[in-house]
């Protein structure tokens, strides 16, 4: 059965220039759109009109001074936030559109106007902290969208899943006191930005609602499927979110130049399949993906296409057998289960 899937796209996203030779480049979105069009997927998506996020929407997640600093970069050829994070004349506009698009896409999914959604927004967001830009990110799109759904649409529980190879430090830190927005990250251990240890489980009322699964380099499809079976599924079953938000980074792909993982395109299709299945079981099908990392154009574009095909309800080849997971993945999940046993029940130990 074909599903109605919304998409966020704006040509301004292509005008953000992170600097000569930077891996987070406009060609990423060009490659994605070319693959979607060549496979006949683009015409099947429901385009969402673009709009810039309002300042009050950003202030739910970011300090006013940080917002001002990003906005003041508009029109300037180069503004350096850190060694990896450089703004160009159009960066502020693109970042506002990415945040506004994330909110509106989540909203139409929550309201049932479309069943699922994928935002091809750029720049990405999950490294953006409350008070500063970092790691190619300026505004934290997924956290901003989550706050809006809680405060404006009456959603009571949201789960953010982040499968980018890098830990979503900004998302975790801005939400770690929350219990109505849970955060789960699968990421490469001992890697940028150095956060995301198993022991980081949230603070105050948010204890138990931050879940980190740091995995050693080299993990592949079988290992990620095991993590979904051992940790992701039981968390969803018990938390029962009303909306799933996915920080969809594809730099865990085996071709990626920055990551050290071995996930295939079919492996990403399998994870998307698992999340869609969980969304159908517990969230009335409501799932929204926001593009994060992924820097090999072929690996990125084919994996995004596979995710969108899965969102559309198409049958496609998937990869990953949890029963064949490595001892490294099993040990990592056992550590997570032990750390969170006070809050959640896990069958697989």
Known catalytic residues? 127
The total of other beta-carbon atoms located within 10 Å of residue 113's CB is: 13
DSSP character string of 78-105: -EEEETTEEE-TTHHHHHHHHHHHHHHH
Which residues are within 8 A (CB) of 223 and not within 5 positions of it... i.e. 6 or more apart? Answer: 215, 325, 326, 328, 329
CB 79 within 8 A of CB 267: no
The residue among 196, 205, 134 whose CA lies nearest residue 162 is 196
Place of tokens 């739910």: 60
The residue among 109, 131, 125 whose CA lies nearest residue 46 is 109
262, β-bridge pairs: 220
The residue among 305, 304, 298 whose CA lies nearest residue 27 is 298
User: What would you report as the CA-atom Rg of the chain, rounded to the nearest whole angstrom?
Assistant: 18
The residue among 220, 232, 230, 312 whose CA lies nearest residue 268 is 220
Distance CA 195, CA 205 (A): 20
* Cα distance from N-terminal residue to C-terminal residue, the chain: 36
Distance CA 2, CA 173 (A): 37
Strands 116-119 and 79-82: unpaired
The residue among 138, 27, 29, 141 whose CA lies nearest residue 91 is 138
């Amino acid at each position: 059965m074909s599903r109605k899937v919304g998409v966020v796209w704006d040509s301004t996203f292509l005008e953000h220039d992170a600097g000569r030779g930077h891996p987070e480049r406009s060609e990423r979105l060009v490659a994605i759109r070319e693959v979607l069009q060549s496979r006949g997927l683009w015409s099947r998506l429901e385009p969402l009109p673009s709009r810039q996020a309002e300042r009050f929407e950003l202030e739910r997640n970011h300090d006013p001074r940080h917002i001002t600093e990003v906005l003041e970069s508009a029109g300037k050829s180069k503004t350096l936030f850190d060694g990896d994070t450089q703004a160009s004349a159009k960066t502020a506009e693109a970042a506002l559109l990415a945040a506004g698009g994330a909110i509106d896409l989540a909203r139409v999914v929550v309201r049932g106007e479309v069943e699922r959604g994928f935002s091809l927004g750029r720049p990405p967001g999950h490294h953006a902290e409350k008070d500063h830009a970092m790691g190619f990110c300026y505004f934290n799109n997924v956290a901003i969208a989550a706050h809006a759904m809680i405060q404006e649409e009456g959603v009571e529980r949201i789960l953010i899943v982040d499968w980018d190879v890098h830990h979503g430090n900004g998302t975790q830190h801005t939400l770690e006191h929350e219990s109505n927005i849970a955060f789960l990250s699968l990421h490469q251990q001992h890697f940028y930005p150095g956060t995301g240890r198993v022991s980081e489980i949230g603070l105050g009322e948010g204890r138990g609602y931050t879940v980190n699964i740091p995995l050693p380099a080299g993990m592949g499809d079988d290992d990620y499927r095991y993590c979904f079976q051992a940790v992701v599924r039981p968390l969803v079953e018990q938390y029962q979110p009303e909306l799933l938000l996915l920080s969809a980074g594809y730099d865990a792909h085996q071709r990626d130049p920055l990551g050290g993982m071995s996930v295939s395109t079919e492996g990403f299709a399998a994870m998307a399949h698992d999340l869609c299945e969980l969304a159908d079981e517990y969230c009335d099908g409501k799932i929204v993906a926001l593009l994060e990392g992924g820097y090999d154009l072929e690996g990125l574009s084919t994996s995004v296409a596979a995710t969108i095909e899965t969102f559309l309800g198409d049958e496609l080849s998937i990869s990953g057998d949890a029963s064949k997971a490595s001892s490294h993945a099993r040990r990592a999940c056992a550590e997570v289960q032990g750390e969170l046993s006070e809050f959640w029940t896990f069958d697989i130990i």
